């Protein structure tokens, strides 16, 4: 019985998604004219939360896709 276990592409179990999310969130600190002051919890803080979610989500999806392509390429060779 030599059944191969097929790997699933669960994005939360793949390292690429998490690396992409960290890079996406950390890229906020490199944007010009971004004054992130975490001591303010007023209406100026809501766009910052939105940017964290947006950049983190985009980075997560890009990292997941890159990791999936790498796994697919390794499996083919």
Query: pTM here?
Result: 0.67
* Residue partners of 9: CB distance under 8 A and separation at least 6: 64, 68, 71
pLDDT per residue as tens digits for the range 5-44: 566 777 777 888 888 888 888 887 776 655 666 565 566 6
Contact between 60 and 20 (Cβ < 8 Å): yes
């Amino acid at each position: 019985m030599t059944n191969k276990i097929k790997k699933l592409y669960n994005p939360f179990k793949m390292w690429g998604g998490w690396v992409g999310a960290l890079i996406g969130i950390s890229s906020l600190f490199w944007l010009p004219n971004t004054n992130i002051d975490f001591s303010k919890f007023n209406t100026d803080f809501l766009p910052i939360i939105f940017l964290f979610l947006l950049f983190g989500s985009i980075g997560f999806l890009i990292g997941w896709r890159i990791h999936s392509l790498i796994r697919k390429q390794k499996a083919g060779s």
